[in-house]
Amino acid sequence: MDKNIGEQLNKAYEAYRQACMDRDHAVKELQQKTENYMQQIREQQEKIELQNSIIAKLKSQLAALNANRGNVHPYVLMHEDIETSNLPFSQLSEKLNVIKQREELLK
């Protein structure tokens, strides 16, 4: 009978140990997914900020065009300026810097 109890205890301990390992793995996987999602959220927020910046700049250019009708050299949107939503943040940031430089040259 003692041998049977010992085997049952060993099986119970092994099941407990496996459950703990499974739990630890699940916790690590959840942490990794959370970190990945947080990074994606940060990147999307940066893209939104850049898009908002471009929109604000375009609105101000439109307002200047409407106010000065004919006295202002219009800024011609380049195709690459319009389709920026698929670019990574670093490239979007570079494009914003180029746009700012163009704006300075037009002034």
State which residues form the domain around 10: 2-106
The residue among 65, 85, 91 whose CA lies nearest residue 76 is 65
How many domains does the chain contain in total?
A: 1
Residue with the bigger pLDDT between 107 and 45: it is: 45
pLDDT digits 0-9 by tens, 49-93: 999 999 998 888 888 888 877 554 545 555 555 555 566 777 777
Cα separation, 25 vs 90, whole angstroms: 34
Residue 74 phi, psi dihedral angles, 5° rounding = -70, 145
User: What is the reported pTM?
Assistant: 0.50
Q: Which helix (H) or strand (E) holds 53?
A: helix 2-68
Rounded to the nearest integer, the mean pLDDT of the chain is 83
65 sits in which H/E element: helix 2-68
Alpha helices in 69-85 (DSSP H): 79-82
